[in-house]
Amino acid sequence: MTTTLSWSRGALSVRWCGGAVLVTCGPDAILLDAPPDLLAHLPADALPRIRAVLVTSGRPRSVGGLVPLWCALLDDRATDAPLPLHAPLGEERSAALADAFSRGWPDAWSVPVDSAVPGEPTEIGPFLVHATSIGIVEPTPRRGFAREVSGVALAVQVDGARIVFAAGATNGGALKRALRDADLAIVEVGVRPWSVGGAARLDPAAAAALTHTCADVWLVGDDGAPVSAGGEQ
């Protein structure tokens, strides 16, 4: 079972959920990414508190758990308010999944899909989210091969803290700028064995170099398990 990582400051808490990040402040929560096995790692009491879901890309590890999450919320949400989904500008898979859910459950609450436009803040309750365009590595149908696709690093500002999440990222200046001086940086690194080359995954050493200005750092593997972590666990 994946080790739980947690970080807190005042009313703010952050939890690693095996590929997703749950950010909670008081009664409100947002979810960053939705891997296929999300529900196995997400605390049950968090479900009705989620105000929005934000995904870093359209890769399976980021969006594969969206429909199971929405189906679980059919029983756990006590409101008919929309549950927004924020995806990188131009990413189409998230919108397709939201459309499929809405068609399958037309009487459920709506899932409006918005673009996380780089440079423009998104306000969700007490959370202010900024997206930075970065390259992201995605497996292809060709066994063991990877390609680079567009995605975003997500920076959440809430309760005086700045949390940055970068999933599946390649190395680059944009990523370094997004991570600079974060109170908590959560960076996914490549640990799964891929037999063939392609786009280069961020390795632990490169990620550590990019996060040296951050107060606390979680390096998490693309298998969902922590690689190293600073701060509260």
pLDDT in tens, 105-144: 999 999 999 987 777 899 999 999 999 999 998 877 766 6
Q: Is residue 155 part of a domain?
A: yes
Let me know: does 56 contact 41? Beta carbons within 8 Å: no
Q: Is residue 18 part of a domain?
A: yes
Number of domains in the chain: 1
pLDDT the model gives residue 232: 44
pLDDT the model gives residue 73: 94
pLDDT the model gives residue 195: 52
CATH of residue 60's domain is 3.60.15.10
Q: Is residue 1 part of a domain?
A: no
Look up residue 205 and give its amino acid: A
Let me know: does 195 contact 204? Beta carbons within 8 Å: no
Q: Give CA–CA dist 12/43, Å, rounded.
A: 16
Q: Per-residue pLDDT for the chain (233 aa), expressed as one digit of tens each? A: 446 799 999 999 999 999 999 999 999 999 999 999 999 999 989 999 999 999 999 999 999 999 999 999 998 888 899 999 999 988 999 999 999 999 999 999 999 999 877 778 999 999 999 999 999 988 777 666 778 888 999 999 999 999 999 999 988 899 999 999 999 999 999 877 655 555 677 888 999 999 999 999 999 998 888 888 765 43
pLDDT the model gives residue 13: 97
- Per residue in 176-200, pLDDT (tens digit) is 999 999 999 999 998 776 555 556 7
pLDDT the model gives residue 181: 96
**Within 13 Å of residue 72, how many CA atoms lie on the same side as its CB?**
19
Q: Is residue 165 part of a domain?
A: yes
The pTM (predicted TM-score) of the whole model is 0.93
pLDDT the model gives residue 82: 95
pLDDT the model gives residue 190: 83
Q: Give CA–CA dist 16/227, Å, rounded.
A: 12
Q: Is residue 67 part of a domain?
A: yes
3-state secondary structure of 95: helix
Q: Give CA–CA dist 135/169, Å, rounded.
A: 6
Q: Is residue 32 part of a domain?
A: yes
**Residue 159 is part of which domain span?**
6-229
